[in-house]
Amino acid sequence: MSIELAAAAAAFLRERGVTLAEGLGEHELQRVEERFGFEFGPDHRALLQLAVPLGDRWVDWRDDADQDIRARLELPIDGVLFDVSNNAFWPRSWGVRPSSGAEAEQEARRHVRRWPKLIPIYGHRYMPAAPSIAGAPVLSVHQTDVIYYGANLLDYLRRELEPKPEESPPVTHPVPPWSELAMGYDNENL
């Protein structure tokens, strides 16, 4: 399914005038994954093998500076830590919140590092890294404000590039605990 979905996504991007560079070869993909410590999910990988979308908010895995890519990879974690430090975010599943702010942040970092890694696509839109499945959702992540932005990669691109007032995408493949944040669960239910 990933190849068909990626081909449809690449065609859709071309139709919408998004600049597409030549796809990444297997060796290039492996270098990116080794350099940044993750594996692309199957749909994201398949798209990048066909074409690399370019522009201000897209990730150019071939030419963007490592520090910029690392910053985008860390943004979801940094956002959760910001809410721990500044907005009293502390899920009950983490136990008793340490009284020291520094200890709370350290404990939160330990928990969040266990969450599935999110890989940036465009702006603050992310897909889960492997071992995600084909058809994984796209999430919009800003701190602990998480929204399902697409049921899968193609659905996401349609919603991003042809915005219409529509209902939320169906949740077909949850990505816990990011999904719980997207579903509006509060600190008590996460």
% of the chain with per-residue pLDDT over 90: 78
Q: Would you state the pLDDT for residue 164? A: 74
Q: Would you state the pLDDT for residue 106? A: 96
Contact 104, 95 (CB under 8 A): no
Q: Would you state the pLDDT for residue 175? A: 87
Contact 60, 98 (CB under 8 A): no
Band of residue 141 on the pLDDT scale cut at 50, 70, 90: very high
Instruction: Check whether 178 has a pLDDT greater than 60.
Output: yes
Instruction: Check whether 41 has a pLDDT greater than 90.
Output: yes
Band of residue 182 on the pLDDT scale cut at 50, 70, 90: confident
**Contacting residues for 157 by C-beta, under 8 A, at least 6 apart:** 9, 12, 13, 150
Q: How far is CA 155 from CA 1, 70, 160, in A?
A: 14, 26, 9
Of residues 131, 133, 130, 127, the one with CA closest to residue 150: 127
Indicate the pTM of the whole model.
0.91
Could you give the angle at the alpha carbon of 171 between the alpha carbons of 168 and 176, nearest 5°?
120
Q: Would you state the pLDDT for residue 185? A: 67
Q: How far is CA 185 from CA 118, 166, 171, 180, in A?
A: 19, 22, 15, 6
Domain locations along the chain: 2-182
pLDDT tens figures, 64-91: 999 999 999 999 999 999 999 999 899 9
Q: Would you state the pLDDT for residue 165? A: 62
pLDDT tens figures, 1-20: 578 989 999 999 999 999 99
